[in-house]
């Protein structure tokens, strides 16, 4: 009998250890149907054991940090070198991971021969490059960033003055998608850019461009948000800025992906907050299919001075890792889209609501531009605290909408913008 208990004890211990080992992003993301990924850079190529161990344990998706860019794959016309990228594909296939393709048409790390300064030859070269690369990876890469960073940085909202634009003209984007679709009709084709995570001038121009492509019947299936952020982005407006922005792209019927996330900053708690906000929106909106971070360890990041990743220099998980894990383990429910139109003004009014006696009376006024005006009140975690419809001329006392014990910062959101209110006792 003693023997039996001992065996059972050992089995229980082994089982518990196995369970503890199983705890990973991948485990929960697989259950949720989420592609959770990382970029593979030089630590992968060097086959660094600590690095690869983390990648295999945590991620179900990978992307080449550099090795699928034109300058590496196709430096000389007609003489592609797939050797480095193929190692990544082999690794991914061996470990049952998906591969995102990154990237076919980009102004940086491009091959010199493609853009000639002249329209017809550049179109021909672009077509040849896309065919050469996509043919090779057909069936192995199920989604490609076809065009990367075609837009100028905010606030101009114009197309980037690149050799693509100068050689072909603004419709180079249309052509790239059309060529790519012809090569592999089953492949999901993405437009990918940075500085587009929240509502704002650049995301507005990306929205306009993508909508134009769709209206013209161009085969585009997804939008990638690079999400190169900073810890200073951890402001109350971030959550809704991201969510409302993502919602409008989702409404176009597109897949959404966070494609290159990293968050610079020495305040690792704030950094964790930014990662967490993006993961929260990812889990809340079914259209967001992928959450990809741009590397594993701070030291190896292209922004290494900003310690932007999930693991520190000793391969230890940082607060951001813990925050993402907690969310994956206990995901938020899908959200209902906000009833009004979406706008978060950069400058916002603010007020203070004192929760005692006569002071509980911060009143909101609908000035009548939109009437009736739906408002929604969120807390900083993005939880809807209350909603109401305001009529012009009739002030609404905010305190009447809130639970008595509530304290903290609230965002009162309407078409007119966001009013930030501190509720104190
Ligand atoms: C970066 C890589 O991380 C670096 O190693 C390389 O030197 C330059 O490119 N947007 C993109 C990525 O789409 O391809 C970039 O990756 C980062 C910005």
What is the distance in A from the centroid of ligand 1 to the CA of 397?
50
Please, how many CA atoms are within 13 Å of residue 29, restricted to the half-sphere of its CB? 24
What's the predicted TM-score (pTM) here?
0.85
CA of 69 to the centre of ligand 1 (A): 10
Q: Is residue 149 flagged as an active site residue?
A: yes
pLDDT in tens, 43-57: 999 999 999 999 999
- Rounded Cα–Cα distance for residues 21 and 422 (Å): 43
Whether pLDDT at 94 is above 60: yes
Distance from the alpha carbon of residue 211 to the mean position of ligand 1, in angstroms: 26
Are 374 and 339 in contact by the 8 Å Cβ rule? The answer is yes
Question: Do 385 and 379 form a contact (C-beta atoms < 8 A)?
Answer: yes
Residues 237 and 270: beta-carbon distance below 8 Å: no
Q: What is the pLDDT of residues 324-364, one digit of tens each?
A: 999 999 999 888 765 545 554 444 455 666 555 445 556 67
- Specify the range with the lowest mean pLDDT, choosing from 83-92, 146-155, 262-271, 374-383: 374-383
Name all residues whose Cβ lies below 6 A of ligand 1.
41, 65-66, 148, 194, 226, 260, 302
Find tokens 């003693």 and name the residue: 2
In whole angstroms, give the CA distance from residue 203 to residue 196. Answer: 4
Q: What is the pLDDT of residue 348?
A: 44
> What's the rounded Cα separation, in Å, for the pair 71 and 186?
26
Q: How far is the CA of 72 from the centre of ligand 1 (A)?
A: 13
Name the residue of 37, 43, 45, 65 to mutate for ligand 1: max ligand atoms within 8 A of Cβ: 65
Confidence of residue 7 (pLDDT cuts 50, 70, 90): low
Catalytic residue among 58, 143, 149, 276: 149
Q: Check 58, 65, 260, 284 and give the catalytic one.
A: 260
**Does the active-site annotation cover 237?**
no
Instruction: Tell which wins on pLDDT, 372 or 298.
Output: 298
The pLDDT tens digits for 380-424 are: 666 788 888 888 778 777 777 887 777 777 878 776 666 777 777
């Amino acid at each position: 009998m003693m023997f039996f208990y001992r065996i059972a004890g050992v089995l229980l211990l082994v089982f518990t250890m196995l369970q503890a080992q199983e705890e990973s992003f991948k485990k929960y993301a697989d259950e949720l149907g989420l592609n959770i990924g990382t970029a593979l850079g030089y630590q992968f190529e060097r086959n660094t054991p600590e690095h690869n161990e983390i990648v295999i344990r945590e991620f179900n998706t990978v992307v080449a940090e550099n090795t699928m860019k034109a300058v590496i794959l196709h430096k000389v016309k007609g003489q592609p070198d797939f050797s480095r990228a193929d190692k990544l594909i082999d690794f991914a296939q061996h470990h049952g991971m998906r591969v995102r393709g990154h990237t076919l048409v980009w102004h940086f790390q491009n091959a010199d021969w493609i853009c000639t300064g002249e329209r017809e030859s550049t179109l021909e070269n672009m077509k040849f490059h896309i065919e050469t690369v996509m043919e090779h990876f057909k069936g192995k890469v199920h989604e490609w960033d076809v065009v990367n960073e075609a837009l100028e940085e905010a606030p101009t909202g114009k197309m980037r003055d690149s050799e693509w634009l100068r050689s072909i003209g603004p419709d180079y984007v249309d052509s790239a998608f059309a060529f790519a679709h012809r090569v592999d009709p089953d492949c999901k084709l993405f437009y990918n850019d940075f500085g587009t995570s929240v509502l704002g001038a650049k995301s507005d121009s990306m929205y306009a461009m993508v909508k134009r492509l769709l209206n013209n019947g161009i085969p585009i299936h997804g939008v990638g948000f690079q999400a190169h952020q900073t810890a200073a982005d951890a402001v109350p407006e971030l959550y809704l800025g991201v969510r409302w922005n993502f919602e409008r792209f989702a409404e176009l019927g597109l897949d959404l992906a966070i494609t290159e996330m990293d968050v610079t900053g020495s305040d690792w708690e704030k950094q964790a907050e930014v990662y967490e906000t993006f993961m929260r929106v990812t889990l809340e909106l079914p259209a967001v299919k992928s959450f990809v971070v741009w590397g594993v360890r701070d030291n190896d990041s292209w922004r290494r001075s900003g310690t932007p990743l999930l693991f520190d220099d000793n391969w230890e998980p940082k607060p951001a890792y813990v925050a993402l894990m907690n969310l994956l383990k206990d995901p938020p429910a899908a959200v209902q889209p906000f009833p009004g139109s979406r706008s978060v003004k950069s400058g916002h009014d603010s007020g203070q609501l004192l929760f005692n006696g006569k002071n509980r009376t911060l009143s909101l006024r609908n000035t009548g531009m939109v009437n009736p005006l739906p408002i929604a009140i969120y807390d900083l975690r993005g939880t809807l605290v209350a909603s109401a419809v305001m009529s012009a001329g009739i002030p609404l006392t905010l305190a009447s909408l809130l639970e008595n014990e509530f304290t903290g910062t609230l965002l009162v959101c309407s078409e007119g913008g966001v009013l930030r209110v501190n509720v104190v006792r």
